[in-house]
Amino acid sequence: MAPHSGESESSSRTGAGERGQRASAAGERPVHERMADLLAENEALRRENATLQSVKDALQESEERYRRLFEDDLTGDVITAPDGRILACNPAFVRIFGFASVEEALNTNVRDLYEDPRDLDRLQEHVRREGKVENEGRIRKRRDGTRIHVVENVIGRFGSDGELLELQGYIYDDSERKRAEDALRENMEWYRHALDNPLVGYAHCEIITDAAGKPVDYVYLEVNRAFEQFTGLAREDALNRRVTELLAPEEVAGIIAIYGSVALTGESTTFQYPVPTLSKWFEVTAFSYQRGRVTTFFTDITERKRTEEALRESEERCRRLFEDDLTGDFLTALDGRILACNPAFVRIFGFASVEEALNTNIRDLYEDPGDRDRLLERLRGEGKVENEGRIRKRRDGTRIHVVENMVGRFSVDGELIETQGYVYDDSERKRAEEALRESEERFRAVLENSLDAAYRRNLQADRYDYMSPVIEEILGFTPEEMAAMSLEEIVDHIHPDDRLPVDTELNTAAASGRGLLEYRFQAKDGRYRWLEDHFTVIADPGGRPLFRGGIVRDVTERRRTEEAIRRHAEDLARIHRDLESAHRETNLYLDILTHDIGNTENVSNLYTELLIDSVKGEAACYVANLKRSIAKSIEILGTVSKIRRIHSGPPGLRPTDLDAVIRAEIAHFPDIPISYEGVPRQVLADDLLCEVFTNLIGNAVKHGGPGVAVTVRTEEEDGFVRVTVADTGRGVPDDQKEEIFHRYEKKQRGVGEGLGLYLVQILIDRYGGRIWVEDRVPGRPRGGAAFSFLLREADPVPDRSPSVCVT
pLDDT digit string, tens, across residues 352-378 = 999 999 998 989 999 888 889 988 999
Mean pLDDT along residues 302-320: 83
Mean pLDDT along residues 774-786: 90
Between CA 465 and CA 459 the distance in angstroms is: 10
CATH code at 196-296: 3.30.450.20
- Per-residue pLDDT band for 477 (boundaries 50, 70, 90) equals very high
Classify residue 196 as exposed, middle or buried by CB count within 10 Å of its CB (0-12, 13-18, 19+). Answer: exposed
Domain 650-792: top CATH class: alpha beta
Going by the DSSP 8-state scheme, the letter that residue 593 receives in this structure is: I
Classify residue 180 as exposed, middle or buried by CB count within 10 Å of its CB (0-12, 13-18, 19+). Answer: exposed
Going by the DSSP 8-state scheme, the letter that residue 172 receives in this structure is: E
Domain 74-175: top CATH class: alpha beta
**pLDDT score for 592:** 58
- pLDDT at 590 exceeding the cut of 90: no
Element (H, E) at 487: helix 487-493
Residues 342, 323 contacting (CB under 8 angstroms): yes
pLDDT tens by residue, 511-560: 888 999 999 999 999 999 999 999 999 988 888 898 998 888 989 988 88
- Per-residue pLDDT band for 620 (boundaries 50, 70, 90) equals low
**pLDDT score for 707:** 85
- pLDDT at 13 exceeding the cut of 60: no
Out of 3.30.450.20, 3.50.50.60, 3.40.50.970, 1.10.10.10, the CATH code matching 307-427 is 3.30.450.20
Contacts of 60 (CB under 8 A, 6+ apart): none
**pLDDT score for 444:** 46
Do 74-175 and 450-554 share a fold? yes
Is the alpha carbon torsion for 304, 310, 314, 319 positive or negative? positive
pLDDT-wise least confident of 63-72, 294-303, 318-327, 404-413: 63-72
Domain ranges of the chain: 2-68, 74-175, 196-296, 307-427, 450-554, 556-640, 650-792
Residues 685, 657 contacting (CB under 8 angstroms): no
* Greatest mean pLDDT among 203-207, 508-512, 610-614: 203-207
Between CA 649 and CA 647 the distance in angstroms is: 6
- pLDDT at 671 exceeding the cut of 70: yes
Residues 392, 307 contacting (CB under 8 angstroms): no
> What is the architecture of the domain spanning 450-554?
2-Layer Sandwich (3.30)
- Per-residue pLDDT band for 36 (boundaries 50, 70, 90) equals confident
Residue 754 main-chain phi, psi, to 5 deg: 85, -10
Torsion of CA 40, 46, 47, 48, to 10 degrees: 110
Closest of 338, 328, 339, 351 to residue 402, by C-alpha: 328
Specify the higher pLDDT residue, 531 or 435.
531
**pTM score, whole prediction:** 0.31
Is the alpha carbon torsion for 376, 380, 384, 389 positive or negative? negative
**pLDDT score for 646:** 65
